[in-house]
């Protein structure tokens, strides 16, 4: 660690302090040989760590704070200048420890969970259980003690190649192109909201792309065109497991949808639409129980699949080829799609439970990176980018511990 050198009496005080911290006994007598021997002992001792953060680990933190700009974040949010000045002035100590702890925990939080706290304001309802502050504090203490602060912080960032692609595009976009850089920042922030493990087998719907992907063993094995929620009834960002495939489902309209009653059955005061050619859910419903009453389903209104912009539903995901999707899911789950083929030969309602529930992720990214590594700029059907970018631009007041 850097330790300033002083002459005369100040130097003797520093040597005595250093010796006490390192276990050396320094004789401060005026006798030249003893003083020379004591000074030689201290000069040969290891550098003194004034606080828990050594100078080297402190500089590694500063390097990572500077690198946060590559993630679309602002290094000033982590008191970069105050940290650098304190480290330069003192080489460490209690004040630097406090500054470094606060900065590192703030950066860890933002890397892991994003900077925006109220994600529900953007209709984002994907719960995370890995952001416990005490757990982060414990990991930070261990990283400081082992000199691994920078690798630990980087491990908190999304490892998905789509995030890496956005980061790469952000680095390649000139500062003058602030519109594109803003869109990339907003979508990198959304990726930090995502769970780090989506599951090897899952269903992935990026609302602005109007597509659904079936992912098996980490690879997309099927893709379907979809219709998503209209602007007045947007599809929320959620993550729940698909638990069953319902063939020829009944439909119970939510209170937000008014129906005439024609073609419906009064079931204890609730109107329900029986299976049939005009059923609003079509022939198939992929059930993923959730408090938002959102699911995947077929539709008799096939004409909307031909449109380029496909935000027309009441929030649920209408799937083109929903019968094929049902067969794909059941075959991946059981090895055979015979139950789906047989069930669709009539209009009798049947439920095929999945042995292994498959996570379904409904997300919102207006900039995406395909399997080919190329950046794709998509619609922003719910006009969320501008508001999110404005939140990212607000100056952050970092709390001190």
Give catalytic residue positions. 297, 316
From 232, 213, 137, select the one nearest 365 (Cα to Cα). Answer: 213
DSSP assignment, residue 68? G
Using alpha carbons only, give the angle 101, 103, 105 rounded to the nearest 5 degrees: 65
Residue whose pair of structure tokens reads 């005439």 in the numeric block: 260
Question: Do the Cβ atoms of 164 and 182 come closer than 8 Å?
Answer: no
From 314, 127, 148, 130, select the one nearest 237 (Cα to Cα). Answer: 127
Question: Do the Cβ atoms of 242 and 330 come closer than 8 Å?
Answer: no
**Distances, alpha carbon 260 to alpha carbons 252, 266, 274, 389, in Å:** 13, 12, 15, 43
Q: Which residues contact 399 (CB under 8 A, 6 or more apart)?
A: 102, 106
Kindly calculate the radius of gyration of the chain based on its CA atoms and give it in whole angstroms.
Answer: 30
From 137, 159, 122, 105, select the one nearest 234 (Cα to Cα). Answer: 122
The string of DSSP letters for 307-346 reads SSS-EEESSSEEETTHHHHHHHHHHHHHS--HHHHHHTTS
Instruction: Quote the tokens at residue 394.
Output: 């607000």
Alpha helices in 194-302 (DSSP H): none
């Amino acid at each position: 660690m850097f330790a300033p050198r002083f002459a005369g009496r100040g130097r003797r005080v520093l040597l005595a302090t250093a010796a006490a911290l390192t276990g050396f006994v320094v004789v401060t007598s005026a006798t030249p040989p003893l003083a020379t021997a004591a000074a030689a002992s201290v000069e040969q001792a290891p550098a003194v760590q004034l606080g828990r953060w050594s100078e080297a680990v402190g500089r590694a933190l500063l390097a990572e704070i500077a690198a946060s700009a590559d993630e679309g974040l602002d290094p000033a949010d982590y008191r970069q200048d105050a940290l650098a000045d304190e480290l330069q002035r003192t080489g460490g100590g209690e004040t630097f420890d406090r500054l470094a702890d606060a900065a590192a925990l703030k950066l860890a939080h933002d890397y892991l969970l994003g900077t925006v706290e109220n994600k529900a304001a953007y209709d984002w309802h994907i719960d995370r259980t890995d952001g416990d502050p005490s757990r982060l504090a414990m990991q930070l203490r261990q990283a400081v003690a082992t000199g691994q602060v920078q690798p630990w912080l980087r491990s908190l960032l999304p490892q998905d190649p789509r995030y890496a692609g956005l980061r790469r595009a952000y680095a390649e976009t000139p500062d003058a192109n602030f519109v594109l850089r803003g869109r990339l920042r907003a979508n990198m922030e959304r990726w930090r909201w995502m769970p780090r493990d989506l599951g090897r087998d899952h269903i992935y719907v990026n609302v602005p792309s109007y597509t659904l992907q079936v992912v098996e063993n980490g690879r997309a094995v099927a893709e379907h065109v979809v219709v998503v929620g209209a602007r007045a009834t947007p599809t929320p960002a959620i993550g729940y497991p698909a638990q069953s495939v319902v063939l020829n489902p009944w439909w119970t309209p939510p209170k937000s949808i008014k129906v005439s009653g024609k073609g419906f059955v009064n079931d204890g005061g609730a109107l329900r639409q029986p299976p049939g050619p005009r059923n609003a859910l079509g022939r198939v419903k992929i059930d993923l129980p959730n408090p938002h009453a959102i699911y995947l389903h077929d539709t008799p209104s096939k004409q909307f699949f031909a449109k380029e912009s496909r935000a027309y539903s009441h929030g649920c995901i209408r799937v083109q080829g929903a019968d094929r999707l049902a067969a794909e899911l059941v075959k991946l789950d059981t090895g055979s799609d015979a139950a789906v083929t047989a069930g669709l030969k009539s209009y009798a309602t049947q439920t095929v439970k999945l042995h292994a529930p498959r996570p379904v992720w409904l997300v919102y990214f207006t900039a995406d990176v395909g399997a080919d590594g190329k950046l794709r700029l998509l619609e922003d059907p719910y006009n969320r980018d501008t508001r999110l970018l404005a939140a990212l631009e607000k100056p952050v007041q970092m709390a001190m511990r």
